[in-house]
Structure 1
Amino acid sequence: MILSDNMRAALMMALSMTAFTVNDALMKLAAPNLPFFQQIVVRGVLITVGLFILAALWGHLGYRPSGKDRALTALRTFAEMFSTIFFLTALFSIPLANLSAILQSLPLTVTLAAAIFFGEPVGWRRFVAIGIGFVGVTIIIRPGMDGFSVYSLYGVAAVIGVTFRDLASRRLSNTIPSSRVALSAAFGVTVMAGVGSLVMREHWVALTILDWLLISGASVCLMAGYISAVGAMRLGEIGFVAPFRYTSLLVALFLGYVLLDEWPDGWTLFGAGIVVATGLFTLYRERKNALKTPTGLRIR
């Protein structure tokens, strides 16, 4: 069976989200034993070396990107650095599934941002769905109510960073290798964490065998997630690919329960359900309008 570009991109996105979520769980398991920035640096060094080797084996190191691609790669790397700090701070402070539920708003934010910055058509129905989805995010966070954590807002900040990261990925030319883009992001995050460790004057500790296993496993997963995410956003249509991020919520619920003894409360699940439902509706409208536009019908 020959898969379309959209279907291949969707599978890559599902793989990416699974890999990212496993990485999150492994990092959270290692977090109690290691300083914050040290953990990011160690993982970053392993990822950077691994991606460098892959890029060399694939013959991508000699590629010379255009000025536009260099600028977009730099923007994407900065967004990755921004989102990493806020995401991991939130991850180490609130349940994995709660944070994953907040991140399920990404298909909505990416669709909205693509309309604002790229002029992609988004009709009133999808705008309404996006608004309802943001209500679902508010229910998950519950500001001013019992169960509210300021670290949930860190998760929202991470969503903003990842949204810009994905939009930058979308604008990259088809010729730049995904491994080069991922390598730039990994190197940038590593350098940022190293500077952060120096500024915060962290006292690094020796890693145990278990720490090495956890961080090494996280590094492998993050490498797979990096490359798959870049490829998915470049290969498929944003409106089709983005909703497949919901894979991460299922994986987060499972890993949170099995490995971390965490389970979100009813309000969080309710809010996540709203976000997922509205995201799926945006996908439905995207596909329906894609079928209508060749006939000249108005996009709504």
Structure 2
Amino acid sequence: MSNKSVGYAMMLLILGNIIAVFSDALIKTLDDGVPVFQFVFFRQLSAVCIVLPFCLKSSRAELTAGLKWHALRAHIWLVGAIFMVFAINAMPLATANAIFYAAPLIMLPLAAFFYREQLTKYSVLTGVIGFIGVLVVIRPTHIDWAAIAALVVALTLAGNNLLIRKLPTTQSVPQTLLLTNLVGMPASLGLALWEGQTWQWEPLLTATGSSLFILIYAATCVVAYRSAESNKIASAEYSGLLGAVVVGVIWFGEMPEIEMLIGAALIIVPLIWLAKIEQANKQKQALAAASVSRDDN
């Protein structure tokens, strides 16, 4: 685990999630008739083309290290990308993102189970309040296929972020992003061929823009989750909801209701509170370590 601060990791996640909103917005501009599997394949293809120049000097050993974990992440990422297209095009941008942000809450028990991370009462409380905020935003009266698709996306996001810990730390961020997309391309190409639609090249530019934004998000996740324990920073994933609200208003004319504002407050305020608590705890630990060092001398 890196020595970088929890605050640094949380800031990275906040930045990454806001940038990821623009990837979602581009997806929402797609015409209804665009073949979904083709579009997902175009996203992976463009992502590989973007990242490949940064990996040309990589050795074979670097690109094959931890390949089984890359393969697992790649196919989880592929499933999430497919369901994301369905969810974003079936509901308002902010509502879809609100459900996506169930991922940090999903990560808390998964991190405790798989990595034996200790859940602090503060991180649990922040996750619970944040999820209540998500429920306030979406006001679920029934679960339809779009909501289920969005929940699948949340589950894949949680799984991908947790699996970052399994990846070799010697690999650079571009190498990680390259493998995540490259290893999943055979499956996405197979799905595109199985889809049986005439190839439509017009969405390629949209797919490239979406890939660029989501690559930046994925890079921030790799750095952040290598820098701090998942349960201490996962709630920062909620921050992109505000970006989704703003982009939804400006780009698609989706005016937020009062419930959206209340829910957003329930999501963001606990984040600030958690960051302050973690910073205070770190300062206390530093002072305690300094005191012990003086006593030993």
TM class, shorter-length: 0.7 to 0.9
Deviation at 1:149, TM superposition (A): 4.2
Deviation at 1:137, TM superposition (A): 3.4
Q: Larger deviation: 281-290 or 213-222?
A: 281-290
Deviation at 1:177, TM superposition (A): 2.0
Structure-2-length-normalised TM-score: 0.81
Alpha carbons 1:46, 1:219 under 8 Å: kept: yes
2:251 is aligned with 1:259: yes
Alpha carbons 1:178, 1:230 under 8 Å: kept: yes
- Name the structure 1 match of 2:294: none
- Name the structure 2 match of 1:60: 58
Q: Larger deviation: 116-125 or 20-29?
A: 116-125
Spell out, residue by residue over 1:33-62, the C-alpha distance to the aligned partner (whole angstroms, 9 max, x if none). Answer: 622122222222111122122211xx3343
Q: 2:30 is aligned with what amino acid?
A: A
Q: How far apart, in 2, do the equivalents of 1:189 and 1:269 lie?
A: 38
Q: How far apart, in 1, do the equivalents of 2:157 and 2:284 lie?
A: 31
Alpha carbons 2:6, 2:279 under 8 Å: kept: no
Q: Larger deviation: 91-100 or 284-293?
A: 284-293
Q: How far apart, in 1, do the equivalents of 2:63 and 2:200 lie?
A: 39
1:153 is paired with a residue whose SS is helix
Quote the sequence identity (%).
22
Deviation at 1:97, TM superposition (A): 0.9
Q: 1:64 is aligned with what amino acid?
A: E
Deviation at 1:162, TM superposition (A): 0.8
Calculate the aligned-residue CA RMSD, in Å. 3.0
- Name the structure 1 match of 2:25: 25
2:29 is paired with a residue whose SS is helix
Q: 1:45 is aligned with what amino acid?
A: L
- Name the structure 2 match of 1:249: 241
Summarize the alignment of residues 190-209 of structure 1 with structure 2, pairs less than 5 Å apart: 190-207=185-202
Q: 1:274 is aligned with what amino acid?
A: L
- Name the structure 2 match of 1:100: 97
Q: 1:243 to 1:40 in 2, by over 3 A?
A: same
- Name the structure 2 match of 1:181: 176
Q: 1:21 to 1:125 in 2, by over 3 A?
A: closer
Q: 1:155 is aligned with what amino acid?
A: A
1:42 is paired with a residue whose SS is helix
**Which of 204, 221, 235 is the aligned partner of 1:229?**
221
Q: How far apart, in 2, do the equivalents of 1:242 and 1:127 lie?
A: 11
Alpha carbons 1:76, 1:185 under 8 Å: kept: yes
2:243 is paired with a residue whose SS is helix
Spell out, residue by residue over 1:239-289, the C-alpha distance to the aligned partner (whole angstroms, 9 max, x if none). Answer: 444333234222211211111222343334433433444555554554555
Q: How far apart, in 1, do the equivalents of 2:18 and 2:126 lie?
A: 26
Summarize the alignment of residues 100-179 of structure 1 with structure 2, pairs less than 5 Å apart: 100-124=97-121, 126-144=123-141, 149-179=144-174
Q: How far apart, in 1, do the equivalents of 2:169 and 2:217 lie?
A: 19
Structure 2 residue runs of 5 or longer lacking an equivalent are: 290-297
Structure 1 residue runs of 5 or longer lacking an equivalent are: none
Deviation at 1:182, TM superposition (A): 1.0
Q: How far apart, in 1, do the equivalents of 2:16 and 2:115 lie?
A: 24
Q: 1:7 to 1:282 in 2, by over 3 A?
A: closer
2:90 is paired with a residue whose SS is coil
Structure-1-length-normalised TM-score: 0.80
Q: How far apart, in 2, do the equivalents of 1:130 and 1:226 lie?
A: 21
**Which of 86, 91, 99 is the aligned partner of 1:89?**
86
Alpha carbons 1:81, 1:188 under 8 Å: kept: no
Q: How far apart, in 2, do the equivalents of 1:282 and 1:108 lie?
A: 14
Deviation at 1:129, TM superposition (A): 4.4
Alpha carbons 1:30, 1:215 under 8 Å: kept: no
Aligned pairs, how many?
A: 286
Q: How far apart, in 1, do the equivalents of 2:276 and 2:61 lie?
A: 38
Spell out, residue by residue over 1:170-202, the C-alpha distance to the aligned partner (whole angstroms, 9 max, x if none). Answer: 232321222222112222444333222222322
Summarize the alignment of residues 269-284 of structure 1 with structure 2, pairs less than 5 Å apart: 269-284=261-276
Alpha carbons 1:84, 1:189 under 8 Å: kept: no
Deviation at 1:125, TM superposition (A): 5.1
Alpha carbons 1:60, 1:179 under 8 Å: kept: no
- Name the structure 1 match of 2:292: none
